[in-house]
Amino acid sequence: MKSALTLLLFATALPARADDAVADFESPDSAAEWTAMDGSTERIDEGAKSGSGALLWRARKDGARLATKRVKGDLTECNSLRGWIWLRGTVERVVVVRLPATGGVFWRKFAVRPGVWSEIVLPFYQFRSDGVPRWTDVDGLEFLIREGPSQLVLDDWRLTEGGTWPAMEPTTALEERVFGDGEHSMALTENFRVFTDAEMNARDCADRLEAGLDRFRKVFGLEELPLDYPVTLIVRRTPEDFRRTAVETARDVYGGELQAPKADGFTFMDYSFGSWEAASGARRPTFLHEACHQLVSRMLEFRGDAGSLWIEEGICYLLQNDFYPQENLRQQALQLIEGGKATPLEKFDAKLRMTSGALDLQSLLIVRYLVKGPNAGKWSELHAALRENQCDLLASVEDAWGIPRAEFEKGWEDFTREWATEK
Ligand SMILES: [Zn+2]
């Protein structure tokens, strides 16, 4: 098992190259580029990791921050951030590294043991994100201490260059981490990486996902928008391995905790997972559904509680159903509308929790109306409004299309009823 961060104790740091050192604190200028919030900084000579200077950061309380603009701009030529930390005192602390960027923030937490030099190595693919930040547009570097007061000494922080897709876990590292010595196969197409230890054709699965992406691009007018790096799907042969791989990936890649998923597929940050079954093989509908979650978050960039957005589920179910039509969908749709079980459309915003099959179905039907109904040609205006209005459906429809709320709700019901009763 690969650990999320590497601690090399008492090892010697390589000398920083002049052009890539973010902070070596050899000169007073280097220390002056850092600002402490709820704390103070001091350049010290004694006890540096290398050379003659280090930065002592006194964090006064919980959430205290240390920030610099030394890291800024396009980081896509780099693949990791690394440096040394010494924690004074006797109690382990959790530090969060943050890289604010236009549209959001990348972040990664790590634990520091007291009384030793720890080398912290943070590959970019191990960063999580809030919002939709971009590696092309980073605006600073921050350290945040979860529990203060604390005193930390920093030395020799730098960016490492290299790699083709810095935001993606390298293939060999993933194979080693997930499968160890176990037999498995992998398919890499232009936009997808599929890994599996099941008796299925990974290439067939990846080709199916490419077809799904083509459809997705057409429906949402995204023919020209490239994916910066391939979408990763890991399919495990047994449900137990699938659940374990999801939990371990969250822990070992992102340093996060995850409850074992209950469904047959699951997506977390840049990873989709699926459980294999012989009957549908490489074409299990959930594989496309889960990969679609990543397409939505990377290409449509809605904001709200990650993973629980009604619009994201609706889009994933719609795409899934376009490729693998569910037999009794029309009947279910009719029951939802005629049985009075539909949720009022005013509830569809970023706060809506997707907690039932009925909500999944209704989200599919709403998205279907948005992209196949009378206003389908005006999706891009609605897309902008949904992003602006926290995915509030009726506010966005009013803003983008000028349709009064009640009228839209009736239009959706009529459209759905007509389709559901079609012979
Ligand atoms: Zn889903």
- Measured in Å, residue 291 CA sits from the centre of ligand 1 at 9
> 168 C-alpha vs ligand 1 centroid, how far in Å?
22
Residue 297 C-alpha to ligand 1 middle, in angstroms? 12
Domain at 21-161, CATH from 1.20.1300.10, 3.60.21.10, 2.60.120.430, 3.40.640.10:
2.60.120.430
* pTM for the predicted model, two decimal places: 0.88
Work out the pLDDT band at 304, boundaries 50, 70, 90. low
* Spacing, Cα 208 to ligand 1 middle (Å): 18
CA of 412 to the centre of ligand 1 (A): 22
CA of 313 to the centre of ligand 1 (A): 5
Q: What is the pLDDT confidence band of residue 167, given thresholds at 50, 70 and 90? A: confident
Q: How far is the CA of 310 from the centre of ligand 1 (A)?
A: 9
Read off φ and ψ for residue 58, nearest 5 degrees: -100, 110
**Is pLDDT above 90 for 8?**
no
Distance CA 57, CA 135 (A): 27
Q: What pLDDT score does 119 carry?
A: 96
CA distance 98 to 82: 13
**Does the pLDDT value for residue 250 go beyond 90?**
yes
The chain-wide mean pLDDT, for the chain, equals 91
Distance 316 CA to ligand 1 centre (A): 6
pLDDT of residue 228: 86
Domain 171-421 classification at class level: mainly alpha
Instruction: Please give the distance, rounded to the nearest whole angstrom, from the Cα atom of residue 367 to the centre of ligand 1.
Output: 14
What band does 46 get if pLDDT is binned at 50, 70 and 90? confident
> What ranges do the domains of the chain cover?
21-161, 171-421
At residue 22, the pLDDT reads 84
What is the Å distance from ligand 1's center to 419 Cα?
Answer: 24
pLDDT digits (tens, 9 = 90+) for 77-114: 899 999 999 999 999 999 999 999 988 999 999 999 99
Q: How far is the CA of 108 from the centre of ligand 1 (A)?
A: 25
Measured in Å, residue 199 CA sits from the centre of ligand 1 at 24
Q: Please write the tens of the pLDDT for every residue from 334-369.
A: 999 999 889 999 999 988 988 899 999 999 999 999
Q: What are 109-148's pLDDT values in tens digits?
A: 999 999 999 999 999 999 998 888 889 999 999 999 999 8
Q: Does residue 409 register a pLDDT over 70?
A: yes
pLDDT at 236: 98
Q: Give ion ligand 1 contacts, CB < 5 A.
A: 316
Supply the pLDDT for residue 5: 36
Poorest-pLDDT segment among 1-5, 37-41, 324-328: 1-5
185-194 pLDDT, tens per residue? 999 999 999 9
Q: Which residues contact 276 (CB under 8 A, 6 or more apart)?
A: 196, 198, 199, 200, 235, 236, 237, 238, 242, 284
On the 0-12 / 13-18 / 19+ scale of CB atoms within 10 A, 275 is buried
136-145 per-position pLDDT tens digit? 999 999 999 9
Q: By the 8 A CB rule, do 118 and 143 touch? A: no
CA separation for the pair 138, 102 (Å, rounded): 7
DSSP string, 280-338: TGGG-HHHHHHHHHHHIIIII---SSTT--HHHHHHHHHHHHHHS--TTHHHHHHHHHH
Could you tell me the distance, in angstroms and rounded to a whole number, from the CA of residue 418 to the centre of ligand 1?
26
Interval between CA 380 and ligand 1 midpoint (Å): 23
Asked if the model's pLDDT at residue 1 lies above 70, the reply is no
CA of 205 to the centre of ligand 1 (A): 18
Residue type, 50: S
263 CA from centroid of ligand 1 (Å):
9
